């Protein structure tokens, strides 16, 4: 008689996934990872050509993907799109931005823009997806893209840190509230990852050195470093995880 337990599946066959900010960087990697695990992925971003090209690449590689040009700051457009689509089993709430500045120099315009995208839009995209899941009486996995900066502070990142701390709090509260519906909510908190958004920062050698001094594994993160974590959080492999944060930071927050 076989009494060995079986590892829960990391496969996502038959699941529908929505990824925001999917045209490049972490969002594109998330879409690719979910598609490679068998999910049917809808890529969302403002730039239609970018996500159409990405979806096409995923299909050429044998995956299932479609593009939905959408500005996630337009909450009514988001609601209209999600409410008329089949429910999404997985959301990677990834659209976000930063405008680094010393706290004393932050403008109201920059503060509002970063909060609007990183917190307000993330909240209402998740709300739209969750409403559909509850209507359909389906379980699901919501993955908020947080940051190590939701756990620690950093110079010239007061507003960004505040938005990511908000995402960490949102993750906990949603996890508590949605557990009875079988909807899991977790955050993924990476260190600095080399992407089109962060690459200009690393042109400053002093900044790059300061970052590498804090990453104990001695290198910048690559988008591939997050792909396994995204599939893990989306799949049955993490079935008992909700309301928490998975920190992929090369050891930055360990001291």
The tens digit of pLDDT for each residue in 235-249 reads 999 999 999 999 999
Q: What is the pLDDT of residues 95-136, one digit of tens each?
A: 999 999 999 999 999 999 999 999 999 999 999 999 999 999
Express as a percent the part of the chain with pLDDT over 90. Answer: 96
State yes or no: is 237 an active-site residue. Answer: no
Residue spans of the domains in the chain: they are: 16-249
CATH hierarchy code of domain 16-249: 3.40.50.720
pLDDT confidence tier of residue 2, bands split at 50, 70 and 90: confident
Average pLDDT over residues 51-66: 98
What integer is the mean pLDDT of 51-62?
98
> Is pLDDT of 169 > 90?
yes
Cα 216 to Cα 146: distance, rounded to the nearest angstrom: 20
Q: How far apart are CA 236 and CA 7, in angstroms?
A: 9
Going by pLDDT thresholds of 50, 70 and 90, the confidence category of residue 197 is confident
Catalytic site residue from 160, 192, 232, 252 = 160
> Which of 85, 98, 86, 81 is CA-nearest to residue 26?
98
CA distance 173 to 185: 9
Dist. CA 86–CA 15, nearest whole Å: 11
In three-state secondary structure terms, 91 is strand
Is the model's pLDDT at 65 over the cut of 90? Answer: yes
Whether the model pTM is above 0.85? yes
Give me the numbers of helices (H) and strands (E) for the chain, helices first please. 9, 7
pLDDT number for residue 196: 84
């Amino acid at each position: 008689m076989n009494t060995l337990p079986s590892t829960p599946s990391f496969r996502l066959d038959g699941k529908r996934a929505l990824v925001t900010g999917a045209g490049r960087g972490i969002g594109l990697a998330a879409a690719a990872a979910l598609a490679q695990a068998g999910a049917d992925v809808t890529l969302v971003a403002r730039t239609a050509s970018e996500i159409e090209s990405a979806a096409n690449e995923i299909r050429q590689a044998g995956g299932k993907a479609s593009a939905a040009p959408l500005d996630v700051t337009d909450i009514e457009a988001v609601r209209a799109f999600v409410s008329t689509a089949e429910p999404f089993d997985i959301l990677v709430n990834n659209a976000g931005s930063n405008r680094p500045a010393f706290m004393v120099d932050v403008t109201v315009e920059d503060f509002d823009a970063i909060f609007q995208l990183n917190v307000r839009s993330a909240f209402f995209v998740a709300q739209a997806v969750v409403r559909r899941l509850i209507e359909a009486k389906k379980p699901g996995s919501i993955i908020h893209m947080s940051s190590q900066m939701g756990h620690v502070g950093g110079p010239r990142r007061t507003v960004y840190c505040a938005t990511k701390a908000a995402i960490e709090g949102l993750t906990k509260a949603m996890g508590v509230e949605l557990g009875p519906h079988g909807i899991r909510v977790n955050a993924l908190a990476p260190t600095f990852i080399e992407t089109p958004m962060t690459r200009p920062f690393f042109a400053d050698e002093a900044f790059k050195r300061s970052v590498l001094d804090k990453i104990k594994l001695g290198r910048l993160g690559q988008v591939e470093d997050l792909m396994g974590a995204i599939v893990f959080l989306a799949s049955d492999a993490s079935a008992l995880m909700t309301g928490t944060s998975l920190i992929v930071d090369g050891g930055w927050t360990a001291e």
